Amino acid sequence: MPKINKTKYAILGILNLKPSSGYDIKKYCDLSFSHYWNENFGSIYPMLKRMEMEGLVNKKTEQNEGKPSRIIYSITEKGKSEFYEWMLTPTEEKSTRRERLLKLAFANPREENNREIIMEMFERQKAVIQQKLDEYLQIENDIAMDDPLTETNGISLRVIALRCLIAESRAQIQWCEESVEAIKNMKSKSKNGRTS
Amino acid sequence: MPKINKTKYAILGILNLKPSSGYDIKKYCDLSFSHYWNENFGSIYPMLKRMEMEGLVNKKTEQNEGKPSRIIYSITEKGKSEFYEWMLTPTEEKSTRRERLLKLAFANPREENNREIIMEMFERQKAVIQQKLDEYLQIENDIAMDDPLTETNGISLRVIALRCLIAESRAQIQWCEESVEAIKNMKSKSKNGRTS
DNA sequence: GTATCCATGTAACCAGTTACATGATTGC
DNA sequence: GCAATCATGTAACTGGTTACATGGATAC
């Protein structure tokens, strides 16, 4: 299965909300889902051109006196159908490179003095994750504050997306704690037990 | 902060265990941590050359009669110190592209008929995650079976690494379920409540 | 008058993947 | 004889990031 350029879908998704310029798209990304998605001008502008040639979007130059002219793209029917198809495709988030786990795999707890290093590793990792978690919780709080709709009309999808990151972070923190305990036990056991 | 080539550290980590050829390194990756790390020959061989020039590894050609000759690399002191430095650096696993969450962000639950699609999305995502989870659990089981040391001497780091993936998957599944519930409630509320 | 924002783009680069080329050996 | 494995490598490509170039408008 080939790697597919997802910038296309991000753009389609935003244009499906409303016609926008490349600049708008970038702004929207930064503002609305910076914690789990990123786009750069270097990807957006060339992709928009490509998408126009593929008939996924329509182009319209907006001439504004005074202000610089903007190129507004809108999604076509073809673009919409491609977008909805993508939306319903189950996402396989390939984690081919998880640095944290790789590091762990290289640690060797059989050697006595290494255990301290490994426990230190976990503590440091935990601190990084905790910091992220605090950040997410802060944002969750902010959203609830400035969007009273969430109370009367249920929670927003922005919050739901954020809660995935929150749930994952919490799971990771717990995993760090459990792992430290497991390594501690390993240590005490090898003292009066056997050593390979 | 610039993106750093992590292939280097993966190689250092493996060579720190024992001197190996490029081929060995690839095999080790596939065998030992395929679920969270991947390397290709296209990265390994050029990197080994570069690392030799940087003095991180030593090269030794092994001439075997009959068998094809192998180039065995071993880690140097400089390589070791760079490796341990990396090991203790807290890992910031940037999730700049979480397709699942992006999809969610584009879903609009305010429109009645969209809710069905969103719930369907969650169900499909959940199924994908569940499949992964089952896979992980199977491997965890396999490791425990063929490695009796884990019982007497505590659990291996291979299992601990795996348990991170397991914990994350479980958190994600729970998140899917909670989200579906939240959207259901949103729906019933908007029926006898207000609609924007 | 200068820093920041609006706005569009290109070029260069890096990481990582895939495909290809080569050739020897082993197992069926 | 043929497929699979051992073994090393290169070339081409894709996805994504960063830096640069340009120029007008706005805010202080």
Give the pLDDT score at A194: 44
- B57-62/B70-75 β-pairing: antiparallel
Of the candidates A100, A56, A97, A91, the one whose C-alpha atom is nearest the C-alpha of residue A75 is A56
Give the pLDDT score at A187: 56
Burial of A124 (0-12, 13-18, 19+ CB in 10 A): middle
Average pLDDT over residues A153-176: 90
Distance A51 CA to C13 C1' (A): 24
List the single residue in A36, A106, A182 with the smallest CB-CB distance to B154.
Answer: A182
**CB within 8 Å: A109 and B154:** yes
Which CATH number applies to A7-87? 1.10.10.10
Q: Which residue in A20, A95, A170, A191 has the most chain B C-beta atoms within 10 A of its own C-beta, making it the best mutation to test that interface?
A: A95
Q: Is the pLDDT at B164 greater than 70, yes or no?
A: yes
**CB within 8 Å: A13 and B106:** yes
Return positions of chain D under 7 A from a protein CB. Answer: 6-12, 14-20, 23-26
Calculate the CA A40 to chain-centre distance.
Answer: 15
Per this entry, what is the length of chain B? 196
Give the pLDDT score at B194: 44
* Residues of chain A positioned with their CB less than 8 A from the CB of B26: none
What is the distance between the terminal CA atoms of chain A, rounded to a whole angstrom? 43
| Distance (Å, whole) CA A172 – CA B23 | 33
Give the confidence band of B152 by pLDDT, cuts at 50, 70, 90: very low
| Distance (Å, whole) CA A27 – CA A24 | 5
What is the pTM assigned to this prediction?
0.89
Give the pLDDT score at B155: 67
Residue of A nearest to B153 (CA): A186
**CB within 8 Å: B121 and A9:** no
**CB within 8 Å: B101 and A37:** yes
Q: Is the pLDDT at A172 greater than 90, yes or no?
A: yes
Give the confidence band of B154 by pLDDT, cuts at 50, 70, 90: low
| Distance (Å, whole) CA A78 – CA A81 | 5
Please write the tens of the pLDDT for every residue from B17-65.
Answer: 999 999 999 999 999 999 999 999 999 999 999 999 999 999 999 887 7
Please write the tens of the pLDDT for every residue from A62-112.
Answer: 887 767 789 999 999 999 999 999 998 989 888 889 999 999 999 877 777
Distance A11 CA to C7 C1' (A): 17
**CB within 8 Å: A103 and B121:** no
- For chain A, the average pLDDT equals 87
How many angstroms away from the CA of A161 is the closest CA of chain B?
5
Give the pLDDT score at A107: 87
Average pLDDT over residues A31-48: 95
Please write the tens of the pLDDT for every residue from B64-115.
Answer: 776 778 999 999 999 999 999 999 898 988 888 999 999 999 987 777 778 8
Q: Is the pLDDT at B192 greater than 90, yes or no?
A: no
- Decide: A89 and A4 in contact? Cβ < 8 Å: no
Residue of A nearest to B40 (CA): A96
Q: Is the CB of B23 under 7 A from strand D?
A: yes
Per this entry, what is the length of chain A? 196
Which of A104-108, A185-189, B136-140 shows the lowest per-residue confidence on average (mean pLDDT)? Answer: A185-189
Q: Is the pLDDT at B187 greater than 60, yes or no?
A: no
**CB within 8 Å: A37 and B97:** yes
Give the pLDDT score at B3: 75
Q: Is the pLDDT at A192 greater than 60, yes or no?
A: no
Which of A36-45, B35-44, B129-138, B148-157 shows the lowest per-residue confidence on average (mean pLDDT)? Answer: B148-157
Average pLDDT over residues A129-144: 91
Q: What percent of chain A has pLDDT over 90?
A: 63
How many angstroms away from the CA of A53 is the closest CA of chain B?
24
Residue with more model confidence, B156 or A91: A91
Residues 46-65 of B with CB under 7 A from strand D: 46, 48-49
3 state SS of B70 = strand
List the single residue in B93, B100, B105 with the smallest CB-CB distance to A100.
Answer: B93
Give the pLDDT score at B80: 96
